[in-house]
Structure 1
């Protein structure tokens, strides 16, 4: 099926008695593809989405109404994700799962064009013990910093410093 015909082109003028056979065939082809596209779209969307969209006979207009509906909900989704990132704290259990859930929320915000540094947010939401565990686990993966000539010591956290060699 040539769904592009129904999704990209506007509906051709309805044929009348004076319309040429070519124009009648063009309209019939567009009408058939449009009905098929609507069936595919409606079958592939969930009942919740389908119930929120007004009933239309044009596949292109139906997709436009879905787009409009979900653009409106981006603000609500942004607020929910921001609230999740700001208020979520590590309460025990798997540190990995907690970090992955925070990174997932940040990635969803990035998809909404809101840039978030997910690593810092995830680490800030952990308790001190969990943060120490994660940073100790990551030490093998962090590249070593070469000290410059003026560095005598380096602050490493927990009010501790290390002499730079």
Structure 2
């Protein structure tokens, strides 16, 4: 029940995360047999061959009985798993969506029907992810977190058969780095070795530390102490501040014994 409660209800805009959490919950609860294994094929009945001896035929039938027993056990396990999967899948879908999905006898077929309802949504989601990857820019906060964030965005494309190769993702990440990393990127392009994401993270973190030490730990960070232009004072306020009066005299009412600020 703990695994099942972690499945977010399918509401039309979260198909990707719903499918991922659903498969994870069914796998961890050991109920995903119907989704991972094909339906067993029923063995054909044994037919006595021409001129086959009684002993030989009896031996073949005994061996065949073991095959039949294994088929019955596998079929029973698959039926039980299929029944549980259908219950879990249907219970994790909101009523308006569940009512639009036709009845199916197997969990695999039911999931395909659900997937077909969200093909267009998946395309739109994939387009959003691709745009995010192309426009992503590093603005500080840790180069490791930036790379992992882009890598996670790329991994979300894989369930939709739009996964990016590591080599292409590496170049997208390089394109998202600021000008301080230009020499670092040029050096990578000049060497024959190709990096994977793990190697990229290690080398970028090393380069980030080098840049921080050479720039006084201010790389890619806005200086919060930067002077800002002061807003001009109110003309009326300046007028009275420029009035010349005697000591201990208010510039506002011209009386002694107090000041304008009081």
Give the alignment's TM-score, normalised by structure 1. Answer: 0.49
Give the alignment's TM-score, normalised by structure 2. Answer: 0.34
